[in-house]
């Protein structure tokens, strides 16, 4: 048994349009959108009566994907959109960017919060954490040199 690749990261959101716009602003491309429902979905996710809108997005290189999910039924459970970086569970997604200052400025202009600051790690990277809609936390990394 061998894993072939990581296929995607799923993120449950309340406002699908806002989350999609956030990732498109970062440079991801919408690959498709659809609604899924029926017994097969119920069996896969272990819930009953699932009706879910999904949007699949891909990174510019085509290797990374994010699946945004808006559950109409059953109702999504509330999370903590202000959870700090050390909260147990999946906490953030990291993206390599070509210009961290321009990326952060563009995101801040659209309401994204810079969590700490943009910091340098040795002579390798400039890094920061940002929080987007519904508490989605990202790490941005610009490789130096």
CATH superfamily, domain at 93-143: 2,3-Dihydroxybiphenyl 1,2-Dioxygenase, domain 1 (3.10.180.10)
Sequence-separated contacts (24+) of 86-93 with Cβ below 8 Å: 90/9, 91/137, 92/129, 92/137, 92/138, 92/139, 93/9, 93/66, 93/136, 93/137, 93/138, 93/139
User: Same CATH fold, 93-143 and 9-73?
Assistant: yes
Q: Name the CATH superfamily housing domain 9-73.
A: 2,3-Dihydroxybiphenyl 1,2-Dioxygenase, domain 1 (3.10.180.10)
Can you tell me the mean pLDDT for 39-54?
Answer: 96
The residue ranges of every structural domain in the chain are: 9-73, 93-143
- Count other C-beta atoms under 10 Å from residue 23's C-beta: 24
User: Residue 92 — very low, low, confident or very high, per pLDDT cuts 50/70/90?
Assistant: very high
Q: Residue 35 has what pLDDT?
A: 98
User: Rounded to two decimals, what is the model's pTM?
Assistant: 0.91
pLDDT digits (tens, 9 = 90+) for 60-76: 999 999 999 999 999 99
| pLDDT confidence of residue 145 | 87
pLDDT, averaged across the chain: 95
């Amino acid at each position: 048994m061998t894993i072939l690749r990581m296929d995607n990261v799923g993120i449950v959101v309340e406002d699908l349009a806002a989350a999609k716009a956030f990732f498109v602003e970062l440079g991801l491309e919408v690959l498709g959108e659809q609604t899924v429902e029926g017994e097969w979905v119920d069996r896969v996710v272990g819930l009953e009566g699932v009706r879910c809108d999904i949007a699949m997005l891909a990174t510019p290189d085509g290797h990374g994907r994010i699946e945004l999910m808006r559950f109409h039924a059953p109702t999504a459970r509330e999370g903590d959109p202000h959870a700090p970086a050390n909260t147990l569970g999946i906490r953030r997604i990291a993206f390599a960017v070509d210009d961290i200052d321009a990326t952060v400025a563009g995101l801040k202009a659209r309401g994204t919060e810079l969590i700490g600051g943009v910091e340098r790690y040795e002579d390798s990277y400039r890094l920061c954490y940002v929080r987007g809609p519904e508490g989605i936390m990202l790490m941005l990394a610009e490789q130096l040199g």
